[in-house]
Amino acid sequence: MLGRTLSPVRGYPVTRTALVAAGVPDRYWGASMKAVDECAHRGAILAYMGAVHERAQKGKGLLLHGGPGTGKTSAAVAILKEVVRRGGTAYFLAARHITRALYENEETEDGLALVKHQIQRVTLLVLDDLGAEGFNPKGNAGAALEGVVRDRYDARRPIVVTTNRTLEGLAEVYTPALLNILKRTVEVVHVQTKQWKGKS
């Protein structure tokens, strides 16, 4: 079952095989909160990780926004790894790969693309670099993404979003429906430091 219930305690190894299965790019395999300097957003991210069992059960996620090179993706992967440590499942989806994930994968017998099925059902979805897709977010691909986000919202499965935009900035690109779902489900954290990249 893809969307397994998390254990309130750690206990599962995060192997290379698990990271590959989760779609995590190899440059982020070493992502760890050990390298996070004391900064305004560190406490919020650690608080989320510490309560990820309870947050996941309620479908509550994070939106990490800030400039390029501030470590947003590394923080998101560190959270993903914590979910895997607790026995959950996760998937990392870069925004620029959304169309490929939703349209170009081999389909299951019921007609649902394998990757689409995975990103809908995993315990945690990391949606990386939202707002940098390279396609019209208000077109068909944007509608498909909205469907995935809505399905996860309905099933109380959390999303961690990274973006260079604020929620208001995303509103300039995405439909009001998608933004409304995000506002209901994510805690917004402004990531400002340039002093870490998540390597332990």
CATH of the domain at 85: 3.40.50.300
Structure tokens at 105: 């994968």
One digit per residue, the tens of pLDDT, for the chain of length 200 reads: 355 567 666 677 899 999 998 999 999 999 887 755 566 688 888 899 889 989 988 999 999 998 888 888 999 999 999 999 999 999 999 988 877 776 665 555 554 556 777 788 899 999 999 988 777 777 777 787 888 889 899 999 999 999 998 888 888 888 888 889 999 999 999 887 654 444 43
Instruction: Give domain status of residue 69, yes or no.
Output: yes
Strand ranges, E, within 66-195: 90-94, 124-128, 159-163, 186-190
Provide the whole-model pTM: 0.85
Domain presence at residue 200: no
For 101, the domain range is 32-190
The answer to the question of residue 175 being in a domain is: yes
Task: Report if residue 134 sits inside a domain.
Answer: yes
Examine residue 197 and state whether it is found in any structural domain, yes or no: no
Is 84 inside a domain boundary?
yes
Give the chain's domain count: 1
| In a domain? residue 50 | yes
191 by Cβ neighbours in 10 Å (0-12 / 13-18 / 19+) ranks as buried
C-alpha distances out from residue 94 to 47, 91, 128, 138, Å:
24, 10, 5, 18
Q: How far is CA 154 from the centre of its chain?
A: 17
